[in-house]
Amino acid sequence: MSTGTDTTALAASAPTTPAESVPAPAPAPAESAPDAGTAPGPAKSVPPTGPAAAASGTGPAGVPVLKTPASAGPAPAGTSPAADTDAPGPDRAPAVPVPPAPARTRTAALAVARALKAVALRTAAILALVALWEFAPRAGLVDATFLPPISEVAVAWWELAGDGQLADHTQASLLRSFGGFGIAVAVAVPLGLLIGWYRPLADFLGPLLEVFRNTAALALLPVFVLLLGIGETSKVSIVVYACLWPVLLNTISAVRNADPTLIRLARSMDLSTPRLFQKVILPASVPAIFTGIRLAGAVSILVLVAAEMIGAKAGLGYLINASQFNFAIPQMYAGIVTISAIGVAFNQLLVTIERRLSTWRVPA
């Protein structure tokens, strides 16, 4: 048989390259035994593939393959192929530096310190007033009978809150005050927008508005009592009258002082009058309107207390007046402090609503 001779001649005739060549592998056995009656021929050799081909340096067709440095040998001990991908390169963005823990702690401490400083600055005057109120009667600077220390006022306030009297009087006053305040805002804002937008209507109603806005609400209280009686209607009506003018006049002024450039620009875009009010007039008028609303909120409480002192059987004004007649001075000051706290809280609520409705404004 000539199998060995042919295989040796085929290996000798294969082309060589300058790269390192590996001797040809040993001949593989024939695929199948020759059938009986047929002449024996040269056996077919199967070229190595896969890892064997890489090790032998020959390709699928028996062509020698150059060895690369990566395949020259196994990786050194203690290293992995994936470790090279973590190395910084020209295409890899640098990592963002993370500030150390002490720097973050120092920043948080500075923020807390600034917040505490702002709170202390805002409450310093109130704390000073409380300290003076407590010290002056005890030091004999004022008569403690007519101005008791604030600690005694706090005790009286707690007693009124415990037996339910303070809650009943506060509820009665808030219903009257907020009821009249709400009616005044609902009437004054649309009327102010209308008067401020239409100049002929403003000229017609101008003198009448000047007459009524310069008439004190408390001066008309006997008129309201004579016309509407001594019940709840007269008290709510006097609150409506007192709250109407600040809101109305500020709304008229806000509409008249709207930026004319914005109005001309909106008209050039063919906006209808309702859309013009929605997109231009109302947003520009919000700060001035809320200034009048805040003034009206303070006026509503003050006027109501005065009205309750004249004719009422419940309310904070009635509590103050009755405590004075009964010479319960700490209870009288407790009612005054409650009115002040309600006024401050109501004003803060209006300021918060104003900020929510005017988020487009750039903070100063």
pLDDT of residue 5: 41
- Neighbour tally for 209: CB within 10 Å: 15
Residue 318 reports pLDDT greater than 50: yes
pLDDT band, residue 118 (cuts 50/70/90): confident
Q: How far apart are CA 6 and CA 11, in angstroms?
A: 9
pLDDT of residue 155: 92
Q: How far apart are CA 190 and CA 176, in angstroms?
A: 22
Q: How far apart are CA 205 and CA 219, in angstroms?
A: 22
Q: In the structure encoding, which two tokens stand for residue 209, read together?
A: 């508005």
> CA dihedral in degrees (176, 177, 180, 182; nearest 10)?
-120
pLDDT digits (tens, 9 = 90+) for 188-214: 999 998 888 888 888 888 888 888 888
Q: In the structure encoding, which two tokens stand for residue 20, read together?
A: 């390192």
First to last CA, the chain: 105
Q: Please indicate, yes or no, whether the overall pTM of this predicted structure exceeds 0.85.
A: no
pLDDT of residue 91: 53
One-letter amino acid for residue 285 of the chain: S
Q: How far apart are CA 54 and CA 58, in angstroms?
A: 7
Mean pLDDT of the chain: 75
pLDDT digits (tens, 9 = 90+) for 69-82: 444 444 444 444 44
Q: How far apart are CA 126 and CA 119, in angstroms?
A: 11
Q: How far apart are CA 142 and CA 156, in angstroms?
A: 20
CB contact at 8 A, 134 and 151: yes
CB contact at 8 A, 25 and 48: yes
pLDDT of residue 3: 44
Q: Residue 179 in 3-state DSSP?
A: helix
Q: What is the mean pLDDT of residues 146-153?
A: 90
pLDDT of residue 183: 93
> CA dihedral in degrees (167, 173, 179, 181; nearest 10)?
-120
pLDDT digits (tens, 9 = 90+) for 332-360: 999 999 999 998 898 888 888 888 877 66
- Neighbour tally for 116: CB within 10 Å: 10
